[in-house]
């Protein structure tokens, strides 16, 4: 019996994502000047106001107001009509020093024995249903919004777009979990007020169908393009006009889009958000590490679908355990428990080892804070930063290291594939 599965994404201009991007921009700036920085930074955005709060242990000082404003301007909140713009919004900082009680549980004389920054469990997931080993409904939702943002910045084919937007894709699967067709697409995009509501909505829907959808389809493999049939149900701005949006329409907070950030509801989630946390926080680093494991396992042919869980106690280096679930898709004659034991011998899951393996003490996080932390392109980019005293630093950093397929051969050897 076929079934439907839905995932959603939100744009970089969504209030919660503005908060995530500001928090991660602060992380990047701290790490650029002091790679040993310990940071937990939360951001709240609302009409004309940004509030920064959190704990920091670092040897550098930053102009946090300027960093927040630069992020807001980059996203596209640059007009007073939006009731929130980078030039005029207030920025209040309530960032203070990290608790020594927490820090003593993390720092060790030997770096390798660095304790986990908190207790908890983290999950990684991978599936064969898309080229980047991500759930297809989420991948398409991200692509729709990234392309919509490109159209907004080009300001050529569509000239009325504002930064806030959401997308949702529903896919019909066969009973053996293979995508059959796209059942529905929902897109809500903020826009300028350019006439009668009925006229605006008709124009927006036409542009989404005639401009956005073809541009997204062109990026996809032929077998995914075939899922776009004439029977798709489109809901474009279904509530009507969407002029008031962004932080003026809805308060944003760091860490409220954890399902958008990961697997769109497939797999599992341990509950911890990512943005605003330095890599000593296993909520973030171990979630990346388990994605790295799951993706390499699927690519190596261990299974068509893999869920990996790891868990920690605060201040303890060795994880409490590693769990693997192949959802009955394993291609090897081993139980999931036996698979997990073999995998745990390949990947060192102590926090310091994860930081070193995935190069997490680099300023690589602002790019993660919109359109998902997983399934992204691994690449080296050059980034520049300026501290409060005018010191500047330029670094070549490798983004999305957890998306590399660099352990496939080791996994195949361990499983005699």
The binding site for L-methionine comprises: 55, 98, 250, 281
Q: Which residues contact 276 (CB under 8 A, 6 or more apart)?
A: 20, 23, 24, 26, 27, 39, 40, 41, 42, 43, 54, 254, 255
Instruction: Return the SS3 of 180.
Output: strand
Give the tokens for residue 329: 């898709």
Half-sphere exposure of 13 (CA within 13 A, CB side): 33
Torsion of CA 277, 286, 371, 60, to 10 degrees: 30
Residue keyed to tokens 């439907």? 4
Torsions phi, psi of 94, nearest 5?
A: -125, 40
Give the residue numbers of the binding site for K(+). 42
284 with 277: CB under 8 angstroms? Answer: yes
- How far apart CA 214 and CA 229 sit, in angstroms, is 12
Give the residue numbers of the binding site for ATP. 14, 164-166, 241-242, 250, 256-257, 273, 277
DSSP string covering 159-194: --EEEEEEEEEEEEE-TTS-EEEEEEEEEEEEE---
Give the residue numbers of the binding site. 14, 16, 42, 55, 98, 164-166, 241-242, 250, 256-257, 273, 277, 281
Instruction: Return the SS3 of 61.
Output: coil
CA-closest candidate to residue 9, choices 375, 319, 299, 326: 375
Q: CA 393: distance to chain centroid?
A: 26
First to last CA, the chain: 33
**What's the Cα-to-Cα distance from 34 to each of 71, 179, 304, 355, 395, rounded to whole Å?**
21, 46, 41, 15, 13
Q: Which residues contact 412 (CB under 8 A, 6 or more apart)?
A: 300, 301
Give the tokens for residue 134: 């991500």
């Amino acid at each position: 019996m076929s079934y439907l599965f839905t995932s959603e994404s939100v744009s970089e201009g969504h209030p919660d994502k503005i908060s995530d991007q500001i928090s991660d921009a602060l992380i990047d700036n701290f790490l650029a000047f002091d790679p040993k920085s310990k940071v937990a930074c939360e951001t709240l955005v609302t009409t004309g106001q940004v509030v920064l709060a959190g704990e920091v242990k670092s040897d550098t000082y930053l102009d946090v107001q300027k960093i927040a404003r630069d992020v807001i301007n980059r996203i596209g909140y640059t007009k007073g009509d939006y009731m929130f713009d980078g030039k005029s919004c207030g920025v209040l900082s309530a960032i203070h020093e990290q608790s020594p009680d927490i820090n003593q549980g993390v720092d060790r004389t030997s770096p390798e024995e660095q304790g986990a920054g908190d207790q908890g469990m983290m999950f990684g997931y991978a599936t064969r249903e898309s080229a980047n080993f991500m759930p297809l409904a989420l991948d398409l939702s991200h692509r729709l919004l990234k392309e919509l943002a490109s159209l907004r910045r080009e300001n050529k084919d569509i000239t009325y777009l504002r930064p806030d937007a959401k997308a949702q894709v529903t896919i019909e699967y066969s009973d053996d979990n293979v995508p059959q067709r796209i059942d529905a697409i929902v897109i809500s995009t903020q826009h300028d007020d350019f006439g009668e509501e009925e006229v605006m909505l008709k124009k927006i829907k036409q542009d989404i169908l005639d401009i956005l959808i073809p541009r997204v389809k062109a990026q996809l493999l032929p077998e995914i393009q075939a899922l776009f049939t004439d029977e798709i149900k489109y809901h474009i701005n279904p509530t009507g006009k969407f002029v008031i949006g962004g932080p003026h329409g809805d308060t944003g907070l760091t860490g409220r889009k954890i399902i958008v950030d990961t697997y769109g509801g497939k797999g599992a989630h341990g509950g911890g958000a990512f943005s605003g946390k330095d890599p000593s926080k296993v909520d973030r680093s171990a979630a990346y590490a388990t994605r790295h494991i799951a993706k390499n396992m699927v690519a190596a042919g261990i299974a068509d679908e893999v869920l990996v869980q790891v868990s920690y106690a605060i201040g303890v280096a060795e994880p409490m355990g590693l769990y693997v679930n192949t959802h009955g898709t394993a291609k090897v004659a081993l139980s999931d428990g036996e698979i997990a034991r073999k995998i745990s011998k390949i990947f060192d899951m102590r926090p310091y080892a994860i930081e070193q393996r995935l190069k997490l003490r680099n300023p690589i996080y602002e790019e993660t804070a919109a359109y998902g932390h997983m399934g992204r392109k691994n690449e080296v980019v050059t980034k520049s930063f300026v501290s409060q005293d005018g010191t500047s630093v330029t670094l070549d950093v490798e983004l999305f290291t957890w998306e590399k397929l660099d352990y496939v051969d080791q996994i195949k050897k361990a499983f005699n594939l």
